[in-house]
């Protein structure tokens, strides 16, 4: 039996295998129990300093990581592009090396450029966790999504998951596809053709442009936000038309002859990709995803910090 | 002046010659080939032992980009020429200048004057439109008179069909060469790499092959309509090769060039986000790469160009998204071709280096024979060169990183009868 060396970074789901993901889930189970108990902290990463470098706006991911780090007893520093030297023309390598010279052990980074974490990993020594790099990957989101499906159904294998919406500009979609497939789920993407990469079927996913067809097929629908800030041109005529075609309403859910599980990575645009009625319904596990995010990120930080992944 | 050089122990490479693949001596007098044969030993001013290396007509690179005048720290006219000589070229044609640009006769005259004195002769391309913006035609004939060998707006061309029509018509009427990079940018908004499986898995927006194909098809339609020949710079897609093949059968006079990077690398090479492989036209699929090789071997495509595009470390050692386009390829063009054509007989592809590129530029190509100017390249097909760790003459940072060795080695060049040996 070959024993692989522990991985240093979490740059994407692509670098993981199913066993490693199961290890993350089992560790997350323990942390979820911990944070639901009376004492929510453990000193597992005491004396470890983690820099949260967010070169792009984020609220929930940054807060979730920060909370996970604090519950593991790590020291944290936060750095965002609005307060950074980047706007003064400093390179990414210089910015990060300046922070690392203050004896930082791990870097959690969000960046608008695909591959930015891979690039950084070639030039610095610290451990890197990808908190979303452009339209490439968002591995911890995929892990918490799969973890939430596992929690809901007991297992991810055999489940049918449709990812609906702006696949072209999403980092969540790609990581979800890799993660769910590794765990044995079937994946479909659904949305207007202009928002789906032309060759995505080659990744082994089904493609549909009809939401009702997709909902009839799936066990889980993961609704993505329209990323208007990433769209350099119009990909559909109007939000109203998009919402009519691809927005998930209670009416569409009730036409199904089964009950499916509804997910959303947030932030939600109520009334666009999902109606308030659906988002707040019993079928929605959106808030469980947020809760699980902390446990899964604790697991990732702990396992990488302890070099056990 | 009576400077004589005797080139000994060289193997002549000219498949059209009776002496092809034979060990010969070549006597050069005052920059002209005086004799080719055996037993020419006589009192020459200079004796050069070729160590059994091949000797061919001097290689010619038909297209690259030099940011001098403007940004000589990235590459100067002198270092461009030195990189070319290191790569085995005796002549190169390049679009020069970032500020000012080559859209007027004074820049062309300057480049021509400096370029003609270098180790490899550097001949200027002229911009076909003012500032290369694709809006207003430049004074192409004035620039031609000052030394411009051909005209283009390069890969960043945004010329309208209307302007392109006028350029094709006007240049053809004056016997000038106008080349167009077929790339419709509006079909690849924010595209960073070939649209295929690799871009889908890396999260980049794609540059579909159709963005090249639609421009090529409209250029062919225009060439037919105007009854002029067509010069296509930067073919990268299999479908383009097929379109050119069919158009040639229909009688359209087309010459087309392929960037050397597209013969060796594919979009899969970008899986590690290597910013030095961020080039235009983009590295496409393996099927595209194979179609380009086949197109060159069967004569559908005319030439291989270095598409040398030097950049400095500040422009390249950044996130892939923000990295400048281009790769510095002049020094290793031959090595990359050796690798790309490793299963082919050299007679089938080495002539691309001295003949194909001249045909592409509409220049006369003659055999290696007595009475010809002694512009020659000495090379080995079996030699090897380390790529990483090689000391490149180019100032550029963005030399592609290739693990291991590349077969083939340039021993040296002779220009105007002067031998310049490559070391290392």
**Which structural domain range is residue B211 located in?**
58-360
User: B-chain residues within 8 Å CB-CB of A119?
Assistant: 273, 275, 318-320
Residue B49 lies in a domain: yes
The distance of Cα B250 from the centroid of its chain, to the nearest Å, equals 27
pLDDT in tens, chain B (424 residues): 578 999 999 999 999 999 999 999 999 999 999 999 988 866 788 899 999 999 999 999 999 999 999 999 999 999 999 999 999 999 999 999 999 999 999 999 999 999 999 999 999 999 999 999 999 999 999 999 999 999 999 987 767 899 999 999 999 999 999 999 999 999 999 999 999 999 999 999 999 999 999 999 999 999 999 999 999 999 999 999 999 999 999 999 999 999 999 999 999 999 999 999 999 999 999 999 999 999 999 999 999 999 999 999 999 999 999 999 999 999 999 999 999 999 999 999 999 999 999 999 999 998 899 999 999 999 999 877 777 667 889 999 999 888 777 889 999 999 988 999 997 6
Structure confidence at residue A85 (pLDDT): 53
pLDDT at A76: 96
DSSP A15: G
Residue B289 lies in a domain: yes
What pLDDT does residue B131 have? 94
Determine, for residues A114 and B273 on separate chains, whether the beta-carbon distance falls below 8 Å. Answer: yes
Q: What is the largest CA-CA distance in chain A?
A: 59
Average pLDDT, chain A: 93
Question: What is the three-state SS of A69-92?
Answer: HHHCCCEEEEEEHHHCCHHHCCCH
Radius of gyration of chain B (CA): 21
Residue B236 and residue B341 share a domain: yes
Instruction: Check if the beta carbon of residue A65 is closer than 8 Å to that of residue A291.
Output: no
B74 vs A83: which has the higher pLDDT: B74
A206-208: strand order across its sheet: A206-208, A186-190, A160-164, A220-223, A261-263
Residue B183 lies in a domain: yes
pLDDT confidence of A82, banded at 50, 70, 90?
Answer: low
Rg (CA), chain A: 19
Mean pLDDT of A82-103: 78
Q: Is B313 within 8 Å of chain A by CB?
A: no
Contact call for A111 and B208, based on CB within 8 A: no
User: Both B210 and B337 in a single domain?
Assistant: yes
The domain that contains B69 carries what CATH number? 3.20.20.140
Structural contact between residues A207 and A188, judged by C-beta atoms closer than 8 angstroms: yes
* Res A87: pLDDT: 57
Closest CA relative to residue B357, chosen from B231, B217, B172, B171: B231
- A232/B196 Cβ within 8 A: no
Locate all alpha helices (DSSP H) within B298-394, ordered by sequence.
Answer: 313-316, 333-340, 346-349, 351, 357-360
What is the nearest CA distance from A114 to chain B, expressed in angstroms? 6
Q: How far apart are CA A118 and CA B314, in angstroms?
A: 18
> In DSSP terms, which residues pair with A10 in a beta bridge?
A129
Whole-prediction pTM: 0.93
In a domain, B395, yes or no: no
User: Which residue of B lies nearest to A13 if distances are taken between CA atoms?
Assistant: B201
- Give domain status of residue B396, yes or no: no
Residue B406 is predicted with a pLDDT of 84
User: Strand, helix or coil at A126?
Assistant: coil
Residues B251, B160: one domain? Answer: yes
My answer on whether B124 and B217 are in the same domain is yes
How far is residue A280's CA from residue A269's CA, in Å, rounded to a whole number? 13
Per-residue pLDDT tens for A55-68?
A: 998 889 999 999 99
Q: What is the domain-level CATH number for residue B25?
A: 2.30.40.10
Asked if B248 and B377 sit in the same domain, the reply is no
Is B63 within the bounds of a domain? yes
Residue A1: predicted pLDDT: 43
Whether residues B46 and B66 fall in one domain: no
pLDDT for B389 equals: 62
Report how far Cα B67 is from the mean position of its chain's Cα atoms. 16
Is B390 inside any structural domain?
no
Nearest by CB to B322, from A93, A113, A133: name it: A113
Looking at the fold, whether B207 and B97 belong to one and the same domain comes out as: yes
Q: Touching check for A166 and chain B: CB below 8 Å?
A: no
Cβ neighbours around A63 below 10 Å, total: 14
Q: Inspect the interface and report whether the beta carbons of A115 and B320 lie closer than 8 Å.
A: yes
Nearest CA in chain A to B275: A119
pLDDT in tens, A98-116: 989 989 999 999 999 999 9
Q: Is A87 an 8 Å CB contact of chain B?
A: no
Q: Binning pLDDT at 50, 70 and 90, where does residue A168 land?
A: very high
The answer on B125 and B38 residing in a single domain is no
Query: Are residues B150 and B45 part of one domain?
Result: no
User: CA B65, CA B305: separation in Å to the nearest integer?
Assistant: 11
Question: Does B250 lie in the same domain as B152?
Answer: yes
B200–A114 C-beta distance less than 8 A: no
Instruction: Please give the tally of structural domains in chain B.
Output: 2
> What are the respective helix, strand and coil percentages of chain A, to the nearest 5?
45, 15, 40
Within-domain flag for B392: no
Q: Are residues B413 and B307 in the same domain?
A: no
Same-domain status, B35 and B62: no
């Amino acid at each position: 039996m070959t024993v692989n060396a522990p991985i240093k970074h979490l740059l994407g789901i692509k670098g993981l295998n199913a066993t490693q993901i199961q290890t993350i889930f089992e560790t997350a189970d323990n942390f979820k129990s911990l944070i639901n108990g009376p004492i929510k902290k453990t000193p597992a990463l005491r004396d470890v300093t983690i820099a949260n470098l967010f070169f792009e706006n984020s609220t929930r991911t940054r807060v979730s990581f920060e909370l996970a780090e604090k519950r593991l007893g790590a020291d944290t520093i936060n750095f965002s592009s609005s307060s950074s030297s980047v706007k003064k023309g400093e390179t990414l390598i210089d910015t990060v090396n300046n922070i690392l010279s203050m004896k930082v052990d791990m870097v959690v980074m969000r960046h608008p450029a695909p591959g930015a974490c891979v690039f950084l990993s070639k030039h610095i020594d610290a451990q890197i966790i990808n908190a979303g790099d452009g339209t490439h990957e968002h591995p911890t989101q995929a892990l918490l999504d799969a973890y939430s499906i596992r929690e809901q159904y007991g297992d991810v294998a055999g489940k049918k998951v449709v990812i609906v919406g702006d696949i072209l500009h999403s980092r969540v979609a790609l990581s979800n596809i890799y993660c769910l497939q590794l765990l044995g789920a079937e994946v479909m993407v659904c949305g207007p053709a202009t928002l789906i990469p032309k060759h995505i079927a080659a990744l082994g996913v089904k493609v549909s442009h009809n939401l009702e067809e997709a909902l009839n097929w799936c066990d889980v629908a993961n609704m993505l936000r329209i990323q208007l800030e990433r769209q350099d041109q119009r990909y559909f005529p109007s939000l109203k038309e998009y919402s009519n075609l691809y927005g998930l309403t209670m009416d569409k859910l009730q036409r199904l002859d089964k009950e499916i599980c509804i997910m959303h990575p947030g932030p939600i645009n109520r009334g666009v990709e999902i109606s308030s009625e659906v988002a707040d319904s019993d079928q929605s596990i959106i808030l469980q995803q947020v809760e699980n995010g902390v446990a899964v990120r604790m697991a990732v930080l702990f396992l990488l910090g302890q070099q056990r992944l | 002046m009576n400077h004589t050089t005797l080139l000994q122990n060289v193997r002549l490479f000219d498949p059209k010659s009776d002496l092809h693949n034979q060990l010969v001596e070549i006597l050069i007098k005052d920059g002209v080939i005086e004799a080719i044969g055996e037993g020419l030993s006589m009192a020459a001013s200079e004796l050069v032992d070729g160590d059994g290396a091949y000797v061919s007509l001097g290689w010619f690179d038909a297209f690259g980009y030099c940011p001098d005048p403007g940004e000589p720290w990235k590459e100067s006219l002198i270092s461009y020429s030195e990189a070319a000589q290191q790569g085995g070229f005796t002549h190169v044609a390049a679009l020069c200048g970032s500020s000012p640009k080559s859209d007027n006769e004074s820049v062309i005259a300057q480049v021509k004057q400096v370029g003609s004195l270098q180790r490899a002769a550097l001949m200027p391309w002229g911009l076909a439109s003012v500032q290369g913006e694709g809006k207003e035609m430049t004074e192409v004939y004035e620039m031609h008179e000052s030394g411009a060998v051909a005209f283009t707006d390069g890969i960043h061309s945004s010329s309208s069909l209307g302007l392109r029509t006028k350029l094709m018509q006007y240049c053809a009427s004056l016997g000038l060469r106008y080349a167009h990079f077929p790339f419709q940018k509006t079909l690849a908004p924010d595209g960073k790499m070939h649209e295929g499986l690799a871009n889908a898995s890396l999260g980049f927006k794609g540059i579909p092959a159709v963005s090249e194909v639609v421009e090529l098809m409209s250029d062919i339609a225009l060439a037919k309509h105007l009854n002029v020949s067509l010069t296509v710079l930067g073919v990268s897609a299999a479908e383009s090769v097929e379109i050119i093949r069919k158009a040639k059968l229909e009688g359209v006079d087309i010459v087309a060039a392929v960037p050397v990077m597209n013969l060796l690398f594919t979009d899969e090479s970008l899986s590690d986000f290597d910013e030095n492989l961020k080039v235009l036209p983009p590295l496409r699929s393996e099927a595209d790469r194979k179609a380009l090789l086949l197109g060159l071997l069967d004569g559908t495509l005319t030439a291989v160009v270095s598409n040398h595009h030097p950049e400095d470390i500040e422009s390249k050692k950044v996130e892939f998204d923000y990295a400048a386009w281009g790769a510095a390829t002049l020094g290793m063009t031959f090595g990359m071709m050796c690798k790309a054509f490793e299963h082919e007989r050299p007679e089938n592809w080495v002539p691309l280096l001295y003949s194909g590129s001249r045909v592409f530029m509409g220049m006369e190509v003659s055999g290696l024979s007595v009475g010809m100017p002694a512009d020659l390249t000495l090379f080995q097909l079996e030699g090897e060169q380390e790529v990483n760790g090689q000391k490149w003459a180019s100032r550029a940072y963005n030399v592609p990183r290739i693990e291991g060795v590349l077969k083939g080695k340039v021993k040296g060049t002779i220009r105007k009868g002067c031998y310049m040996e490559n070391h290392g």
